[in-house]
Amino acid sequence: MSDVREALRAWVRDHNPDVPAGEPADGTRLIECRYLTSLQVADLLLFIEELRQAPVDPASLKPGVFASIDDICAAFF
């Protein structure tokens, strides 16, 4: 699971070049910090699907699943 967390952290940093060093932590609020926007979710979802090598049914998504790296791991891995 640590590899998944590190991969998610790298994805966030790749999409937000201004993220401070050490961020995002596992509990960082990605949406409130503007590290993740609505327009980036589809791309993140594809990345999650590739990491877990299985599709996600977008209709099954619950509110809050993208709130933090902890929440993403709990929901998808």
Partner 1 sequence: MEAPFPAPGAARALADTVRKLSASSRRGYQNPYEAIEWPDELDREQWFTSPELISLYGTPWWDDLSDAGRKVLSFWEAVNFYSLNIAGERFLMEGIAHRLYRPGWEEVAEYLHHFLDEENKHSVWFGTFCHRYAGKVYPDRKVAFPRDYAEGEEDFLFFAEVSVFEEIVDRYNLAMARDERLVDVARRINDNHHTEETRHLVFGRRIVAELWRQWSDRWPAEVVERIRTHIAGFVTATWRDYYNPDVYRDAGLADPYAVARGAWEATVARRDAITARALRPLVAAGVLG
Chain contacts with partner 1 (rule: CB under 8 A): 31, 37-43, 45-46, 49-50, 53, 55, 57-59, 61, 66
Nearer to partner 1, 15 or 22 (CB): 15
Nearer to partner 1, 26 or 49 (CB): 49
Residue 23 contacts residue 30 (beta carbons within 8 Å): no
Least gap, CB of 49 to partner 1 (angstroms) = 6
Residue 69 contacts residue 30 (beta carbons within 8 Å): yes
What amino acid occupies position 39? Answer: L
Residue 4 in 3-state DSSP? helix
Least gap, CB of 41 to partner 1 (angstroms) = 4
